Amino acid sequence: MRDAIVIGAGIAGMSAAWRLRFGDLLVLEASNRIGGRLRSERRGKYWLNWGGHVFGGPGSYVDGLLREVGVDALNLQGSFSALSFKGKTLNGGNVNLYPFKLPLSWSTRFEIARVGLKVMRAVKAYGKVNKPRPGEDYRVRQQRIYDFMADRTFSDFTGPLTPDADAFFRPTVSRSSGDPEEISAGAGVGYFLLVWDKSSGLARNIVGGAATLPQAIAHKLGDKVQLGAEVIKVIQHDDHVEVVYVQNGEEKTEKARYCVMTTPATITHKVTEGLDPIVHEALGQIKYGHYVSGAFLTNETGVQSWDNVYAYCTPQRSFNIAFNMSNLVRSMENGERAPGSSFMVFSPASLARKLIDLPDEEVLDIYRKDLEEVFPGFGKIVVEQQVQKFRNGLAYCFPGRNKLQPKLMRAPKRIYLAGDYLGSWYTETAIQTGLLAGEDINSKLYTDNLLPNNGFVY
């Protein structure tokens, strides 16, 4: 019998596996790729990116893991607040004045200012709720965040908006993968804190692309990681876990003392048997929105208007944000600008619902048309383009989600849960829950003298 089986080789799975690497470990991943929703591929000095891309700095779990594994991340230098709307591109200056620089009616400008003020007040309150308190357990802080304005949706909070005013708030909120009509007011407000306050938000890229981190861990784990291994059943017994999976068309069974499930909640709900029924029911209530993203490699030469910008908000288009993924490369250049750039665009929530069932070629045509309007001439410089569709894009926080949290946090027996759906910080939550699951399993294995005593090297 193995010590542990980790299911899923996204960043939660690779974090758990990293902690469990000294024992008899097996990682089973359904797809043929490491990283899950961290997907990037290198192209010379650039990288294409389709999923998670900006991460926390010193003090965060992601930073700690990057240091342990030996992967580099750097602060982005560019602006995060460019806006392309109504045929104009704004970048720089006070973002609160953007509505006054765009061709909008005065009534729309006042509407945006009124709602913006309301959101700003709520962001201040969220800031207090979000702040860690000395000595408190992370679960207590997480529950407090979920409880903040948890009884209504973001659109209940703002009230109905005219389309142009809506365009100022929707792209930020729907990055959660839920629309303002779906996500809780508190979670929507939280997104504005992330965007407005760089110090509490996400401002770093992993050098070489986000998938470098899970790939580096997988490399160190060697054949403990099995790809193309789709888990179809995980049964919790009193003294072990039984895992049934299909690889190369063949059904296989493995047994382990412990198992970490890092698949999306919907899949964990479907494949697990013998889990605490309260936990199992809560898993079935987690809601995901879709995400469609596109990556583009270009070959232009010379300085470009986007060189010092990281993010362009693009309301009322097929994608609601465009990222200059070559920004970090630009900031590392000393003198001459290399030819080319890398871009990512993404479409969450209702934007994704319109695209997810279309053929990739059609999605790319739609993206290219919009990109041409944001960056005239873009179509002529694209040398590579690729779409990625994530049906389980992100688990969004809906009104009432707070009530599921105590159920999901119930002490595990042999099947541990890890993954971003267990908290509010995406990759950070995925890494935190993965590492903590691995540490708890290790402590049980050590207590039972089941791991070699020369295991950890710190």
Ligand X SMILES: Cc1cc2nc3c(=O)[nH]c(=O)nc-3n(C[C@H](O)[C@H](O)[C@H](O)COP(=O)(O)OP(=O)(O)OC[C@H]3O[C@@H](n4cnc5c(N)ncnc54)[C@H](O)[C@@H]3O)c2cc1C
Which listed residue (171, 180, 190, 264) binds ligand X by CB under 6 A?
Answer: 264
Taking the complex as a whole, how short is the minimal distance between the CB of residue 204 and ligand X, in angstroms?
Answer: 10
Contact stretch for ligand X (CB under 6 A) within 32-40, 147-155, 303-311, 326-334: 32-40
Decide: is 179 part of the binding site for ligand X (CB under 6 A).
no
Q: Where are the beta strands (DSSP E) in 227-310?
A: 229-236, 241-247, 250-261, 272-273, 288-298
Contact stretch for ligand X (CB under 6 A) within 127-135, 273-281, 372-380, 419-427: 419-427
Contact stretch for ligand X (CB under 6 A) within 129-137, 149-157, 370-378, 389-397: 389-397
Contact stretch for ligand X (CB under 6 A) within 4-12, 94-102, 110-118, 219-227: 4-12
φ and ψ at residue 371, rounded to 5 degrees:
-65, -35
Angle subtended at Cα 126 by Cα 121 and Cα 128, rounded to the nearest 5 degrees = 105
Of 199-218, which residues contact ligand X (CB under 6 A)?
Answer: 202
The residues with which 283 forms a beta bridge, in sequence order, are none
Q: If you ran DSSP here, which 8-state letter would residue 79 be given? A: B
Amino acid at site 237: H
Which listed residue (17, 27, 40, 52) binds ligand X by CB under 6 A?
Answer: 52
Contact stretch for ligand X (CB under 6 A) within 10-18, 89-97, 146-154, 184-192: 10-18
Of 227-256, which residues contact ligand X (CB under 6 A)?
Answer: 230-231
Q: Is 295 within 8 Å of 49 (Cβ atoms)?
A: yes
Q: If you ran DSSP here, which 8-state letter would residue 424 be given? A: S
Of 130-169, which residues contact ligand X (CB under 6 A)?
Answer: none
Angle subtended at Cα 124 by Cα 196 and Cα 126, rounded to the nearest 5 degrees = 95
Which listed residue (2, 3, 8, 436) binds ligand X by CB under 6 A?
Answer: 8
Of 337-366, which residues contact ligand X (CB under 6 A)?
Answer: 346
Q: How many residues bind ligand X (CB under 6 A)?
A: 38
For residue 250, count CB atoms less than 10 angstroms from its CB and return exposed for 0-12, middle for 13-18, buried for 19 or more: exposed
Given the complex with ligand X, which of 184 and 347 has the nearer CB atom?
Answer: 347
Decide: is 290 part of the binding site for ligand X (CB under 6 A).
no
Sign of CA dihedral 422, 424, 426, 429: negative
Count other C-beta atoms under 10 Å from residue 101's C-beta: 13
Given the complex with ligand X, which of 116 and 289 has the nearer CB atom?
Answer: 289
The alpha carbon of 75 is separated from its chain's Cα centroid by a whole number of angstroms, namely 18
Strand 225-226, strand 229-236: pairing: unpaired
Taking the complex as a whole, how short is the minimal distance between the CB of residue 107 and ligand X, in angstroms?
Answer: 35
| Helix ranges (DSSP H) in 22-101 | 61-69, 98-101
Which listed residue (216, 430, 435, 441) binds ligand X by CB under 6 A?
Answer: 430
Amino acid at site 357: D
Given the complex with ligand X, which of 293 and 342 has the nearer CB atom?
Answer: 293
Q: Where are the beta strands (DSSP E) in 31-108?
A: 40-43, 46-49, 73-75, 82-85, 88-90
Within 13 A of 356's CA, how many CA atoms are on the CB side? 16
Which listed residue (4, 5, 6, 11) binds ligand X by CB under 6 A?
Answer: 11
Amino acid at site 119: V
Decide: is 55 part of the binding site for ligand X (CB under 6 A).
yes
Taking the complex as a whole, how short is the minimal distance between the CB of residue 55 and ligand X, in angstroms?
Answer: 6
Q: Which run of H or E residues covers position 113? A: helix 106-130
Given the complex with ligand X, which of 35 and 180 has the nearer CB atom?
Answer: 35
Taking the complex as a whole, how short is the minimal distance between the CB of residue 409 and ligand X, in angstroms?
Answer: 16
Given the complex with ligand X, which of 12 and 445 has the nearer CB atom?
Answer: 12
Decide: is 116 part of the binding site for ligand X (CB under 6 A).
no
Q: Is 141 within 8 Å of 133 (Cβ atoms)?
A: yes
Of 69-98, which residues contact ligand X (CB under 6 A)?
Answer: none
Decide: is 393 part of the binding site for ligand X (CB under 6 A).
yes
Which listed residue (12, 235, 241, 275) binds ligand X by CB under 6 A?
Answer: 12
**Which structure tokens are listed for 322?**
């465009």
Q: Give the residues lining the site for ligand X (CB under 6 A).
A: 7-13, 28-31, 36-38, 51-55, 202, 230-231, 262-264, 267, 291, 293, 346, 390, 393-394, 419-420, 426-428, 430
